[in-house]
Amino acid sequence: MDKTQPHPLFKLATELGPLIVFFVVNAKFNLFAATGAFMVAIVAAMIASYVVTKHVPLMAIVTGIVVLVFGTLTLVLHDETFIKLKPTIIYGLFAAVLGGGLLFNRSFIAIMFDQMFNLTPAGWRILTFRWALFFAAMAVLNEIIWRTQSTDFWVGFKAFGVVPLTMIFAIAQMPLIKRYHQDPASLEASDAAEGDVSKG
């Protein structure tokens, strides 16, 4: 089934919407109510993405599954530790998958970011390594914040700190992407010579 490219504002809404819901509900009620609302918002965002684009990005699916599992544990056991651990698990999983892929000469970053651009094999390897380090750093940062700061501070960081940090890091990769960018015709020749590391 063909994918429809969504409007940038729609993509931003599906990514930020659940986080804003999480922040607002936590501010008005508590973390457990916010967790339930967050789970509903995540599912709604994935459904909206599929309805509009006929496609749900892999990262959104993985994130949604982890949110539902750890959110359910949080609500059933009435223990906020699980929802606070959720970002650590997600970031750690992404870092492990990307880093592990490099050990086998595979660059899964292209799949995770839905083949947004075409790079040479060397470009994919460098970009994958950088994102693996970023996700590992974010996992450590989440652990530090939730274990040393208040719940409200952690929720605020999750809603309004993670996205800016990710955007800044992504923008910082643009020189690399421009340097190693290849048009599709050149990319096919490069893949034939070196082996395509952007696909598993």
Q: Is residue 150 part of a domain?
A: yes
Predicted confidence at residue 199, as pLDDT, reads: 47
Q: Is residue 1 part of a domain?
A: no
Q: Which two tokens stand for residue 120?
A: 């040479």
Q: Is residue 126 part of a domain?
A: yes
What is the total residue count of the chain?
200
Predicted confidence at residue 200, as pLDDT, reads: 45
Is the Cβ–Cβ distance between 42 and 67 less than 8 Å? Answer: yes
The count of domains in the chain is 1
Is the Cβ–Cβ distance between 167 and 126 less than 8 Å? Answer: no
Q: Is residue 199 part of a domain?
A: no
Predicted confidence at residue 147, as pLDDT, reads: 96
Q: Is residue 200 part of a domain?
A: no
User: In which domain, by residue range, is 90 found?
Assistant: 8-194
Is the Cβ–Cβ distance between 188 and 195 less than 8 Å? Answer: no
Is the Cβ–Cβ distance between 87 and 139 less than 8 Å? Answer: yes
pTM for the structure as a whole: 0.79
pLDDT means over runs of 10, the chain (200 residues): 65 86 94 96 93 85 93 95 94 93 84 72 91 96 96 93 92 92 62 50
Predicted confidence at residue 105, as pLDDT, reads: 84
Predicted confidence at residue 7, as pLDDT, reads: 67
